Structure 1
Amino acid sequence: MIWILVIVFVVALVLRYPIAFALGLACLVYLIGAGIPLILMPMKMYSGIDVFVLLSIPGFIIAGNLMNQGGLTEKIISFCNHLMGHIRGGLSLVNIGASMLFAGISGTAISDTASMGSVMIPAMKKEGYDADFSCAVTAASSTVGPIIPPSVPMIIAATLSGLSVGKLFLAGAIPGLLLGVGLMVVAYFIARKKNYPKHPKSSFGQVARGFVDTFWSLLMTFIILFGIIGGIFTPTEASIVAVLYALVVGRFVYKKLNFKNVQVVILDSMKTSASLMVLVGFANLFGYILITEHIPQTISSEILGFSSNKYVVLLLINLLLIAVGTFMETIAALLILFPILLKVAIAVDVDPIHFAVIAVLNLIIGLTTPPVGVCLFVASSIGKVSIGKVSKAGFPFLLVSLGVLVLVTLIPEISLWLPGLFTD
């Protein structure tokens, strides 16, 4: 019966069904074929979303959309331009730097690509940057979002494993910074080679004013992160604090929020949150079926039967997750594979927090990996460039991302140092 589940799921994906509905259809066919009462379907779906920490996801989505609608993107881009615009190819560095700052608000790679790309890609093309390079650097920089806190994939990983959300947020900070800096180095050398333009150097006063303009939006990330770590509020409470903070800043500081655009933000956030919760519900049912068919034990025994060496096992897991990440959205892949692979990692003495960072990093790199990386398609559609050209231009950035993945995999302290510092 398990093959029916897999075949229906794959066929549904090929027919371009949304992943949530592909999962749901596969589960429905399996339950009917196995003669299992269909009442199990809503029961397992409800139990999958009836988790308190998951309530934080709609809150962070609303907060991010409020800050974006309230003028955050423009403020961040302006500040980064004052800091780095005078460097050769400065606008590409601004693109990456803005994504690093915006990442703490959006928390997802696709939203970062769409939000930053709609502003940065046309601006870069207008200043003389090649269209394929502009799209590639935008897609690559968006992978920082799900690593730097607050991160929706990290919240999902915490929910699936029972790990601390605060510790996972901290664990992603240094890998996220390494990834951002690595992408900047590559962008700079490509810019020098192609002689991309640069802006006049900004004065200290302009930099200071840019920082003041951006300060209120950046402060939200620190309030969320250190509020959770300090035990002041739970992740769910932190998301509500973030919403209230975003409303106040957007309305009274940036003065761009009004009743009309707040309505739009809430409706968009409801759609995003609802689609995500449906995905979580169906994934829980899918996971239940896999457990009843003993699939996790089979996969675990196969991997461990091949080798019990920690680094060989991590290499196999990395290859699997990179491959899955190229065609499956990060959250869906986490929901299906993370609980299974976590048991394998623990069996070879990999720290669960370290493994969570590895898993998320793998899957977001997959979003920019040809041939079907979702962020590549989003960027190419904005820049009106073929996916082939964007993929070719993005290859140096992909190599850097893989290099950071190797470092994070081989050196656990990159992920574990900050959590240990704040919790010991």
Structure 2
Amino acid sequence: MSASVEEELALGGIETMAAPKRAEPWMRPVELLAALLLAVMMLTVLANVFFRYVLTKPLIWGDEVASISFIWMAMLGAALAVDRHEHLRLTLVVQKLSPAWRERAEVLGNMVVALFLLILLPVAYSYAYEESYVTSPALGLPMTVRAAALPVGIGLMALLAVIATVRGHSLKLVLGCAVLVAAVAGLLWLGKPWFASIGNWNLPIFLGLMVGLLLCMGVPIAFCFGLGTLTYLTLATRSPIFVMIGRIDEGMSSLVLLSVPVFVLLGCILDATGMGRAIVNFLGSMLGHVKAGMSYVLLGSMFLVSGISGSKVSDMATVAPALFPEMRRRGHSNAEMTALLATGAAMSDTVPPSIVLIVLGSAAGVSIAGLFTAGFVIALVLLVVLAILARWVARKEDMTGVRRLTMREVGRAGIVALPALILPFMIRGLVGEGVATATEVSAIAVVYAFIIGVVLYGGIPLGKIVPMLVETAAMAGAILLILGTASAMAWALTQSGFARDLMTVISGLPGGWGTFMAVSVLIFLILGCVLEGLPAIVLLAPIMFPMARQLGINDIHYSMVVVTAMNIGLMAPPIGIGFYIACKISGASPDAVMGRIWPYLAALLVGLAVIAAVPFISTALL
């Protein structure tokens, strides 16, 4: 996530709303404020660590300051993501349209986003006002100080969405789209009695068809979930929208999620200092002389680098430029290398600090320390099956002119890479052993990486620090808004009785936990193709995990299975979002890669089958 936004512009996959980095000059103060809040949050977390572990006197007000800074940073970051066109959306359908129809879809999308935000704005204001009656225990502040972030962020996003709707488009087009939106809204309102009479059939209408249609139109994922939930609650239930705001707040502001922007920042530091490249060079010095050696280096680099950045995009953007030239010289086709890169990214997403694992732990109530411990083992299983296939593919690799480096050269590369190599094991060790929380470890890791990067890896120019903080705030805001709206949608699904009905259906299937596991794999494979991992996790974790527990499936085992299935779906063409990101980063044709990736996906599915069938693999080290 720390990689530049352009690296995520994927042909037909998930894409940011491509445009200038900052469309509105008046948003510059918001950028600086978001960067300042991120810095305050970081410093508060570090102060908590110092007072708790060094002075053994916990900072009583620390969590409150961090929480207030966090929600304000998240909402301002979400507004920055609108301004910078960095909210994630699906473009598979929109890119197949003619330019004229694509423009119509863009205006319609911006218009429904603006309408959604304007409807939500007064409700968010009321929510913030109601919070004034609650006082924070440590600082004694009215909670409005914290909750006011919601109407401010929603108001900024609404203003930016309105500007995006009218700017650069003809008046005729804007008015035509406005009439269409008004007509559809009117028809839906007139149909309210009918919607109220059909009960849970509203779920596929609003949370299925409507969300799917908005996704196809290119509406950002966060707003698709929000619009689907808002229309469902308004037209098909008696639940007040006020509850939705509370769920969005809760979904965005869990203290566990403080580690998300910090690990995003860690990925930025990794990119800026070249720590990832040092790891790649060290592995290359050890394995580059053997057949399939560069493939091993690619997989090993993805494994280790992901343990620093927590981001698939950052991992691929770091590894590909360093290895592809030599692999190409040895006879690997661009399509073959991209297939290995994409499936290597799928393999590495269970390696801590995986943001997906952090979000899963928060959404499903699963121990993050346990997830981090098991994630290493699961990634190793997948690494082995991919390495076996890579060795077979490279059996005719051209090794002409390949020289084995001397021990002195390997040692020199190892010394350079050692400080970077320590970081992923430090993160896993501190969290896995319960020494510190994921949030505390993420803050420690940022300080460590920053100091090591400055001292040993060339440092970070002062002029890049503020843009790095702004980039982190915008990307974190986009992620957290998805989590907030997905949390509201998951609540609506649960309240409707969907979870109970689904449990009834699944419990009636033969085969017990094995059938449930197979159904879960299928569901998360499909969702992984259509959605990025975070919203899929937040949507289904509250529904699927209670069912898994009733069937006696260990939380950690089930987590490893669903995360692995989701990541395989993410890289599966022709829909998989991550597949197109990998193609964009490598510059390969998706059509060419599509023909070469299936054996690697099959290898991952074999690994997934082993992981699902043998719970001991996930729980051995717990």
- The match for 1:410 is 613
Bigger Cα Rg: 2
What is the CA–CA distance in structure 2 between the aligned matches of 1:37 and 1:256, rounded to whole Å? 51
- Taking a change above 3 Å as real, the CA distance of residues 196 and 178 of structure 1, as seen in their structure-2 partners, is farther
Among all aligned residue pairs of Structure 1 and Structure 2, give the percentage whose two residues are the same amino acid: 27
Pick which of 263-272 and 342-351 moved more.
263-272
Pick which of 196-205 and 310-319 moved more.
196-205
What is the CA–CA distance in structure 2 between the aligned matches of 1:37 and 1:198, rounded to whole Å? 71
- The match for 1:131 is 334
What is the CA–CA distance in structure 1 between the aligned matches of 2:525 and 2:604, rounded to whole Å? 11
- The match for 2:472 is 269
What is the CA–CA distance in structure 1 between the aligned matches of 2:539 and 2:401, rounded to whole Å? 45
1:15 counterpart letter in structure 2: M
Q: 1:418 aligns to what SS in structure 2?
A: coil
- The match for 1:241 is 444
Contact (CA 8 Å) 2:583, 2:589: kept in 1 or not?
A: yes
What is the CA–CA distance in structure 1 between the aligned matches of 2:283 and 2:389, rounded to whole Å? 18
What CA RMSD, in Å, does the superposition of the two structures yield over aligned residues?
A: 1.8
- The match for 1:346 is 549
Matching of residues 282-361 of structure 1 within 5 Å? 282-307=485-510, 309-361=512-564
1:6 counterpart letter in structure 2: G
Matching of residues 21-170 of structure 1 within 5 Å? 21-34=223-236, 36-125=239-328, 128-170=331-373
2:588 counterpart letter in structure 1: V
- The match for 2:219 is 17
What is the CA–CA distance in structure 1 between the aligned matches of 2:289 and 2:397, rounded to whole Å? 16
Pick which of 28-37 and 336-345 moved more.
28-37
1:31 counterpart letter in structure 2: L
Which of 587, 592, 608 lines up with 1:384 in the alignment? 587
The TM-score normalised by the length of structure 2 is: 0.65
Contact (CA 8 Å) 1:9, 1:26: kept in 2 or not?
A: yes
* 5+ long unaligned stretches in structure 2: 1-201
What is the CA–CA distance in structure 2 between the aligned matches of 1:198 and 1:94, rounded to whole Å? 18
Matching of residues 357-376 of structure 1 within 5 Å? 357-376=560-579
Pick which of 379-388 and 162-171 moved more.
379-388
Query: How far has the Cα of 1:62 moved from its partner?
Result: 0.8
Which of 428, 431, 436 lines up with 1:228 in the alignment? 431
Contact (CA 8 Å) 1:321, 1:362: kept in 2 or not?
A: yes
What is the CA–CA distance in structure 2 between the aligned matches of 1:381 and 1:152, rounded to whole Å? 22
- Taking a change above 3 Å as real, the CA distance of residues 313 and 116 of structure 1, as seen in their structure-2 partners, is same
Contact (CA 8 Å) 2:482, 2:535: kept in 1 or not?
A: yes
Contact (CA 8 Å) 1:330, 1:364: kept in 2 or not?
A: yes
Query: How far has the Cα of 1:42 moved from its partner?
Result: 2.1
What is the CA–CA distance in structure 1 between the aligned matches of 2:368 and 2:438, rounded to whole Å? 7
Query: How far has the Cα of 1:111 moved from its partner?
Result: 3.1
Query: How far has the Cα of 1:196 moved from its partner?
Result: 6.5
What is the CA–CA distance in structure 2 between the aligned matches of 1:4 and 1:357, rounded to whole Å? 30
* 5+ long unaligned stretches in structure 1: 420-424
Deviations 1:174-219 (A, max 9, x none): 1101111221221121111354767311111122222221111121
2:564 counterpart letter in structure 1: L
Segments of 4+ moved more than 6 angstroms: none
Q: 2:508 aligns to what SS in structure 1?
A: helix
Contact (CA 8 Å) 1:63, 1:243: kept in 2 or not?
A: yes
2:229 counterpart letter in structure 1: C
Q: 1:372 aligns to what SS in structure 2?
A: coil
What is the CA–CA distance in structure 1 between the aligned matches of 2:263 and 2:394, rounded to whole Å? 35
2:375 counterpart letter in structure 1: G
1:295 counterpart letter in structure 2: F
What is the CA–CA distance in structure 1 between the aligned matches of 2:219 and 2:264, rounded to whole Å? 24
Pick which of 98-107 and 88-97 moved more.
88-97
1:403 counterpart letter in structure 2: V
- Taking a change above 3 Å as real, the CA distance of residues 121 and 271 of structure 1, as seen in their structure-2 partners, is farther
Aligned residues: 419
Which of 3, 8, 20 lines up with 2:210 in the alignment? 8
- The match for 2:86 is none
Query: How far has the Cα of 1:124 moved from its partner?
Result: 3.2
Pick which of 327-336 and 227-236 moved more.
227-236
1:9 counterpart letter in structure 2: V
- Taking a change above 3 Å as real, the CA distance of residues 197 and 242 of structure 1, as seen in their structure-2 partners, is farther
What is the CA–CA distance in structure 1 between the aligned matches of 2:343 and 2:372, rounded to whole Å? 21
1:29 counterpart letter in structure 2: T
Pick which of 24-33 and 54-63 moved more.
24-33
Contact (CA 8 Å) 2:330, 2:397: kept in 1 or not?
A: no
What is the CA–CA distance in structure 2 between the aligned matches of 1:114 and 1:303, rounded to whole Å? 41
Contact (CA 8 Å) 2:288, 2:294: kept in 1 or not?
A: yes
- Taking a change above 3 Å as real, the CA distance of residues 295 and 81 of structure 1, as seen in their structure-2 partners, is same
**Which one has more relative contact order, counting CA pairs under 8 Å at least 6 apart?**
1
Q: Does 1:281 align with 2:484?
A: yes
Deviations 1:101-139 (A, max 9, x none): 101012233332333234434553355421111111111
The TM-score normalised by the length of structure 1 is: 0.94
Contact (CA 8 Å) 2:524, 2:562: kept in 1 or not?
A: yes
1:234 counterpart letter in structure 2: T
1:367 counterpart letter in structure 2: L
